[in-house]
Structure 1
Amino acid sequence: MKVLLIGSGGREHALAWKIATSPMLEKLYAAPGNPGIARHAECVALSEKDHGAVVEFCRGQAIDLVVVGPEAPLVAGLADELIEAGIAVFGPTAEAARLEGSKGFTKDLCSRYGIPTAAYARFADAVHAKDYVRNVGAPIVVKADGLAAGKGVVIAMSEDEAYAAIDDCFSGLFGASGAEVVIEEFLEGEEASFFCLCDGKIALPFGTAQDHKRVGEGDTGLNTGGMGAYSPAPVMTEAMVERCMREIIEPTLKGMAEMGAPFTGVLYAGLMITPDGPSLIEYNVRFGDPECQVLMPRLKDDLLALMKGAADGQLAHMSARWREEAALTVVLAAEGYPAAPKKGSAINGIEAAGEEGVEIFHAGTALRDGVFVANGGRVLNVTGLGANVTAAREAAYRAVDRIDWPQGFCRRDIGWRAVKREAAGV
Structure 2
Amino acid sequence: MKIIVIGSGGREHALAWQFAQSAQVKQIFCIPGNAGTATIEKCRNVALNQDDFEGILRFAQVQGVQLTVVGPEAPLADGVVDFFQAGEMPIFGPTKQGAQIEASKSWAKDLMVEAGIPTAASEVFTDPIAAREYVQAQGVPIVIKADGLASGKGVTVATTFAEANQAIDEALGGKFGDAGETLLIEECLQGQEASVLAITDGKTIRALLPAQDHKRIGVGDTGPNTGGMGAYAPAPIVTPEIQRKIQTQVLEPAIAALQKRKIDYCGCLYAGLMITPAGEPKVIEFNCRFGDPETQVILPLLETPLADLMLACIEKRLEQMPAIEWKDGAAVCVVLASGGYPGKYETGKPITGIGKAKEHGAIVFHAGTKLKTSTLVTAGGRVLGVTAIGESIQAAIDNAYVSLAYINFEGATYRHDIGHRAIAN
Shared fold, TM over 0.5: yes
Which residue number in structure 2 is paired with residue 95 of structure 1? 97
Query: For the residues of structure 2 that align with 1:300 and 1:220, how far apart are their CA atoms?
Result: 35
Which residue number in structure 2 is paired with residue 283 of structure 1? 286
Query: For the residues of structure 2 that align with 1:118 and 1:70, how far apart are their CA atoms?
Result: 26
Alignment of 1:23-422 (within 5 A): 23-40=23-40, 41-276=43-278, 277-318=280-321, 319-421=323-425
Report the CA distance between 1:420 and its aligned residue.
2.3
Q: Which amino acid aligns with 1:17?
A: W
Q: Which amino acid aligns with 1:326?
A: A
Q: Which runs of 5+ in 1 are unaligned?
A: 422-426
Query: For the residues of structure 1 that align with 2:201 and 2:368, how far apart are their CA atoms?
Result: 31
Query: For the residues of structure 2 that align with 1:309 and 1:362, how far apart are their CA atoms?
Result: 28
Q: TM-score, normalised by structure 1?
A: 0.97
Q: Name the SS for the 1:243 alignment partner.
A: helix
| Superposed CA offset, 1:292-328 (max 9, x none) | 0000110011011111111111100223111121100
Q: Name the SS for the 2:209 alignment partner.
A: strand
Query: For the residues of structure 2 that align with 1:413 and 1:328, how far apart are their CA atoms?
Result: 11
| Superposed CA offset, 1:59-83 (max 9, x none) | 1111111100000000000000001
Q: Which runs of 5+ in 2 are unaligned?
A: none
Query: For the residues of structure 2 that align with 1:7 and 1:50, how far apart are their CA atoms?
Result: 12
Q: Name the SS for the 1:283 alignment partner.
A: strand
Given that 2:141 and 2:160 are in contact with CA atoms closer than 8 Å, whether structure 1 keeps it comes out as yes
| Superposed CA offset, 1:220-247 (max 9, x none) | 1111000000000101111111111101
Query: For the residues of structure 1 that align with 2:361 and 2:54, how far apart are their CA atoms?
Result: 41
Q: Name the SS for the 1:107 alignment partner.
A: helix
Given that 2:237 and 2:422 are in contact with CA atoms closer than 8 Å, whether structure 1 keeps it comes out as no
Given that 1:191 and 1:210 are in contact with CA atoms closer than 8 Å, whether structure 2 keeps it comes out as yes
Query: For the residues of structure 2 that align with 1:80 and 1:22, how far apart are their CA atoms?
Result: 28
Q: Name the SS for the 2:5 alignment partner.
A: strand
Q: Name the SS for the 1:23 alignment partner.
A: coil
Which residue number in structure 2 is paired with residue 7 of structure 1? 7
| Superposed CA offset, 1:399-421 (max 9, x none) | 11111223211111111111223
Report the CA distance between 1:366 and its aligned residue.
0.8
Query: For the residues of structure 1 that align with 2:10 and 2:409, how far apart are their CA atoms?
Result: 18
Q: Which amino acid aligns with 2:399?
A: A
Q: Name the SS for the 2:211 alignment partner.
A: strand
| Superposed CA offset, 1:363-413 (max 9, x none) | 111112222110000000101111111100100000111112232111111
Q: Name the SS for the 1:122 alignment partner.
A: strand
Name segments (4+ residues, structure 1) moved above 3 Å.
none
Query: For the residues of structure 1 that align with 2:22 and 2:314, how far apart are their CA atoms?
Result: 17
RMSD of the TM alignment (CA)? 0.9
Report the CA distance between 1:2 and its aligned residue.
1.4
Report the CA distance between 1:39 and its aligned residue.
2.1
Matched-pair identity in %? 46
Which residue number in structure 2 is paired with residue 424 of structure 1? none
Given that 1:348 and 1:371 are in contact with CA atoms closer than 8 Å, whether structure 2 keeps it comes out as no
